[in-house]
Amino acid sequence: MAMARIREILQTGEPDQVITVKGWVRTKRESKGFTFVDINDGSAMAGLQVVLNADMDGYGTVVKDLTTGSSVEISGLLVESPGKGQRVELQGQSITVFGTAEGETYPLQKKRHSFEYLRTLGHLRARTNTLGAVFRVRNACAQAIHQFFQEQGFLWIHTPIITASDCEGAGEMFAVTNLDLAKPPQDPSGAIDYSQDFFGKPAYLTVSGQLEAEIMAMAFTNVYTFGPTFRAENSNTSRHLAEFWMVEPEMAFCDLVGNMDWAESFLKYIFKFVLEQCPEDMDFFNQRIDKSVLATADNIINNTFERITYTEAVKLLEQCDRPFEFPVEWGIDLQSEHERYLAEDLFKKPVIVTDYPTGIKAFYMRLNEGGETVAAMDVLAPKVGEIIGGSQREERLDVLERRITEAGLDPATYWWYLDLRRFGTVPHAGFGLGFERLVQFMTGMGNIRDVIPFPRTPDNIEF
């Protein structure tokens, strides 16, 4: 007697075999002489239809217990289904109910629930169709990412989660301490004495693994990180999380154009992989969540991305007759309304914007001729806006030292980062892909909180 996952059974299960499945009841429909039960085990969007014949042993009790949400093991004969909608179905013979789901109090009864409501059920929502599809697609995206880089000879490296350096220099870090916050030790001037803290100085959750990835790229040429990242930015939007996952490749001997080429082929690869791995889930998103999901995927795979400079982008935005909430002029940071206009309305595909003003970008980006702009690149996607941020890195010691100081940071704390420019420096580049923004873009899900199992946002840390 084989125990199989429902996805395999639905695809390749041979009729006339005795099999066992385990899962959770999604729906139950009683009719004269029979009960139909839909069992789902998370392996696929569709469940397996189980038919229980009224003359089976203990029929009455079993049918009473098999309410939506209850967990079961069912053995029986797999047969060709006479009904529409499924190739095979299971004639249930013996049934074990592991746990009932307390009848009407189980919150996920068969009806549409809003995503807001489902967020209050973080412990149960993964059992719904939509969230189930999201997390299978999320898994496939992760697999595609590793497969892409491994095929290309990149080394997967693990960068620290606790760090003393602020990579982005934006001061949006969560502090990590084991000092007693009620009475922290003080130095003679009355400030908190971090020399008595766990690490002997202030420590934080990382906002990016880039600086350490650069160290590793200077040894292995091409590397990538894929890990959790934390930002204490108080932005309550549908695209920001306080804890998100970021993929950061870093390539030695690579310039900005090479960086753009990597980013573009990387995104194309992921979309192709997911369409092949999760066709039912992607169809579901296209039908139920956003009618443009499949067209978008097709567009990513088959069209080249638009590439424009920041200066060109500003001109295009100034020419646009639509009023923006944030007025456009050279030097501003692009707002999400601007990013979306470019990607969604104007070019109708991803746009890579390069060479941003020096003043609005991080200290490590390579200074262009003249010093007004840096070799930055952002990949802007329809609907989500910025999905990737990256740059060619400043590899010249003197320029980097000056940039750190100008950014109001202390070069002494970046001594090891500067050392990389003292010992065998090379032109290099890299980028960061926001993993949840990718999953949002892929699935058409409107809110980033619904593409990560347990979202962390301001005032939200349940589950």
The residues that touch ligand 4AD, with contacts defined as CB under 6 A, are: 167-168, 208, 210, 231, 233, 240-241, 244, 246, 248, 386-391, 430-432, 434, 436-437
Q: Is 287 exposed, middle or buried (0-12, 13-18, 19+ CB in 10 A)?
A: exposed
With CB under 5 to 8 Å by kind, the binding choice for 246 among Mg ion, ligand 4AD, none is ligand 4AD
Choose among 421, 433, 432: nearest CA to 366: 421
Residue at 265: amino acid letter: S
Which C-beta is closer to ligand 4AD: that of 132 or that of 249? Answer: 249
Q: Is beta strand 34-40 parallel, antiparallel or unpaired with respect to 17-31?
A: antiparallel
Window of 56-64, 105-113, 197-205, 382-390 that interacts with Mg ion by CB under 5 A = 382-390
* Amino acid sitting at position 270: I
Q: Where are the alpha helices (DSSP H) in 112-255?
A: 115-119, 129-151, 210-220
Cβ 105 to ligand 4AD shortest distance, Å: 35
**Shortest reach from residue 379's CB to Mg ion, in Å:** 10
93 with 79: CB under 8 angstroms? Answer: no
Minimum distance from residue 44 beta carbon to ligand 4AD (Å): 29
Relative orientation angle of helices 129-151 and 435-443, to the nearest 10 degrees: 120
Least Å distance, CB 273 to ligand 4AD, is 19
Q: Mask 352-371, x = binds Mg ion (CB under 5 A)?
A: --------------------
CA distances to 9, 17, 31, 281, 454 from 89, in Å = 9, 11, 16, 21, 34
Nearest distance from residue 237's CB to ligand 4AD, in Å? 9
Q: Which two tokens stand for residue 64?
A: 């009473």
Stretch that binds Mg ion, among 211-219, 301-309, 310-318, 381-389 (CB under 5 A): 381-389
Per the structure block, which two tokens stand in for 448? 């980033």
* Separation between Cα atoms, residue 344 and residue 34, nearest integer Å: 51
Nearer to ligand 4AD, 244 or 284 (CB): 244
Q: Does 432 bind Mg ion (CB under 5 A)?
A: no
Two structure tokens written together for 409: 């940071």
Using the contact rule CB under 5 A, the part of the chain among 333-341, 385-393, 416-424, 443-451 near Mg ion is 385-393
The per-type count for the chain, helices as H runs and strands as E runs, is 13, 17
Minimum CB–partner distance for residue 210 and ligand 4AD (Å): 4
Q: Which is nearer to ligand 4AD, 69 or 434 (CB)?
A: 434
- Of 38 and 214, which CB lies nearer to ligand 4AD in the complex structure? 214
Rounded to 5 degrees, φ, ψ at 358 are -55, -40
**Cβ of residue 4: shortest distance to ligand 4AD, in angstroms?**
37
Shortest spacing between CB 268 and Mg ion, in angstroms: 21
355, interface contact from ligand 4AD, Mg ion, none, CB < 5-8 Å by kind: none
Taking CB atoms, the residue at the shortest distance from Mg ion is 389
Pick the closer one to ligand 4AD by CB: 70 or 225: 225
Instruction: Report whether 213 contacts 417 (CB < 8 A).
Output: no
Which one of ligand 4AD, Mg ion, none interacts with residue 432, CB within 5 to 8 A by kind?
A: ligand 4AD
Residue 7's identity, in one-letter code, is: R
Q: Give how many residues touch Mg ion by CB under 5 A.
A: 1
Contact 344, 296 (CB under 8 A): no
Q: Which is nearer to ligand 4AD, 314 or 438 (CB)?
A: 438
CB 302 within 8 A of CB 264: no
Interface pattern 387-416 for Mg ion (x via CB under 5 A): --x---------------------------
DSSP code per residue over 258-302: HHHHHHHHHHHHHHHHHHHH-HHHHHHIIIII-TTHHHHHHHHHH
For ligand 4AD, the closer of residues 386 and 450 by Cβ is 386
Residue closer to Mg ion by CB (options 170, 175) is 170
Which residue's CB is nearer to ligand 4AD, number 96 or number 238?
238
- DSSP β-bridge partners for residue 375: none
Minimum distance of ligand 4AD from residue 439's CB (angstroms): 11
| Burial of residue 329, with CB atoms counted within 10 A of its CB: 0-12 exposed, 13-18 middle, 19 or more buried | exposed
- Cα–Cα distances in Å, from 87 out to 277, 342, 437? 20, 45, 36
Is 21 or 429 the residue whose CB approaches ligand 4AD more closely?
429
Residue 326: CB minimum distance to Mg ion, A: 16
Q: Which amino acid is at 79?
A: V
**Residue 427, contacted partner among Mg ion, ligand 4AD, none, CB below 5-8 A by kind:** none
Give the H/E segment covering residue 353.
strand 351-357
Q: At closest approach, how far in Å is the CB of 364 from ligand 4AD?
A: 8
208 binds, among Mg ion, ligand 4AD, none (CB under 5 to 8 A by kind): ligand 4AD
Of 260 and 388, the one with the shorter C-beta distance to ligand 4AD is 388
Site residues (CB under 5 A) for Mg ion?
389
